[in-house]
Structure 1
Amino acid sequence: MCGRYAILEEEAILEMREIINQVNKNYVGRAGLVSAGEIAPTQTAPVLRDAGGQVRLDVMKWGFPRWDKPSGVIINARCETVLEKRMFREAFLTRRLVVPASGFYEWDHRQPGQRDKYFFALAGQVSYMAGIYSLFPVAGGGSQESFVILTMPAGPAVAELHDRMPVILPKSYIRTWLDPRAKAELLLDIPEPPLVRALCG
């Protein structure tokens, strides 16, 4: 699964710094400002979405609301079953997005009391995680767009800590992923990314 990720202003990854700066420029004086650091469910985060054939940088809340638990959210969708689930199917077919990240976190629960935290990333690159979004009503009226991150079976770098990991898209695949005309059955044939693992201090 993906329960935490990070957007970091690293000198080595100027692309992420530019994303943060552009979002804050677009949303100055409004709700939507983002800062570098760890991103948790229900927070607002940068996303890339389709806008009439162009890639648009926007912000959205992480997590679909749960009707069975009003205070809870659904943060991930399994890529293997996303077309089977009523909550996700239409969004997958027509409302895909990309979540830029410096990397994501997993915790080591293999030993009782053990809580080591690991960070997984693409060396020197932004991790573009696949997601979908929908529009939901909010208390007091109005509506809000929210997203979930798609997950896949974990590759070797992650598998000893968790059996799931986010779907990470090659940068060259972003426009295809965002294109609502793309055939659904072709979208999930995505190679496993070459992740680097680091123990958080």
Structure 2
Amino acid sequence: MAMCGRYLYDKSEQVLFDYYNEIRQRDGEIPDSAVDIIYPSSQVITLGANPEKEIVPALTKWGFTGFKPNQLLINARIETAREKKMFKEAFETRRIIFPMSAFYEFSVNKDPYTFSEPKHVLYVGGFYRMFNDPKTGQRQAESIILTTEPDEVVGQIHHRMPLLIAAQDVKKWILDDTFAFQYQHSTHQKLMAHAV
């Protein structure tokens, strides 16, 4: 797996609570799986553009349904996302952000670590597609997290990391194709590693 399959959404952080609360007030209840420790196939809080080009939070299911039974694709490499048939159109037209408190990675010895920037929310680049679930017949938004080469902190533990976007670049990532297509590496952030 290119990136450990979980991250932390701590809604005691004001910014993350505001996203959570905006969805709750607009759409009603939010599943418990959308907060705290987040796992693949969960409904998760992501940021995207509405028809008026405003950045708003919404729920998407983390993971693309694959071609094989029970296959779930949860991440894609930024270096090759536009070359893959399954990812190209979604990446080019429906980019989103996964806001989070921290992400998890495992060392080669399977020891878990969290990576975070104290007192700052992490914004991770991704994209989504609309998919008709053959089991339920329902249309749903499925999302993927993008990964990139690790920085010096994450690289000591794992060979990939989520594609971090600076807070001031969130809107550009979502709406500006030129910016997004040239964006290959995480912005420099002061990540700290913590053994779990």
TM-score (norm 1): 0.87
Cα deviation per residue 1:131-174 (whole Å; 9 max; x = unaligned)? 01011111232311100000001111111221000001001101
Does the CA-based 8 Å contact 1:44-1:60 persist in structure 2?
A: yes
Identity among equivalent pairs (%): 29
Give the aligned partner of residue 98 of structure 1. Answer: 97
Does the CA-based 8 Å contact 1:60-1:145 persist in structure 2?
A: yes
- Which structure shows the bigger proportion of residues in strand conformation? 1
Report the RMSD for the aligned CA atoms in angstroms: 1.8
SS in 2 for 1:109: coil
* Cα separation, 2, equivalents of 1:2 and 1:50: 27
1:143 to 2:121 alignment = no
Aligned-residue offset at 1:116: 2.6
Cα deviation per residue 1:182-201 (whole Å; 9 max; x = unaligned)? 4553333652332111122x
Structure 2 residue runs of 5 or longer lacking an equivalent are: none
Structure 1 residue runs of 5 or longer lacking an equivalent are: none
Cα deviation per residue 1:100-157 (whole Å; 9 max; x = unaligned)? 10010112233xxxx4321101111110110010111112323111000000011111
1:177 equivalent among 135, 158, 173: 173
* Cα separation, 1, equivalents of 2:123 and 2:156: 23
SS in 1 for 2:83: coil
Aligned-residue offset at 1:63: 0.1
SS in 1 for 2:57: strand
Does the CA-based 8 Å contact 1:130-1:150 persist in structure 2?
A: yes
1:118 equivalent among 102, 106, 113: 113
Runs of 4+ in structure 1 deviating by more than 6 angstroms, as ranges, are none
1:33 equivalent among 26, 31, 34: 31
* Cα separation, 1, equivalents of 2:9 and 2:180: 29
* Cα separation, 2, equivalents of 1:46 and 1:21: 11
* Cα separation, 2, equivalents of 1:140 and 1:89: 26
Aligned-residue offset at 1:2: 4.1
TM-score (norm 2): 0.89
Aligned-residue offset at 1:92: 1.1
* Cα separation, 2, equivalents of 1:118 and 1:155: 15
1:127 to 2:122 alignment = yes
1:195 equivalent among 160, 181, 191: 191
* Cα separation, 2, equivalents of 1:140 and 1:119: 35
Aligned amino acid, residue 55 of structure 1: I
* Cα separation, 1, equivalents of 2:77 and 2:186: 14
* Cα separation, 1, equivalents of 2:181 and 2:57: 26
- Cα 1:2–1:179, aligned 2, differ >3 Å: closer, same or farther? farther
Aligned-residue offset at 1:22: 2.2
Aligned amino acid, residue 132 of structure 2: P
Q: Quick check: 14-23 or 37-46, which moved more? A: 14-23
- Which structure shows the bigger proportion of residues in helix conformation? 2
Q: How many residues align?
A: 191
Does the CA-based 8 Å contact 1:97-1:132 persist in structure 2?
A: yes
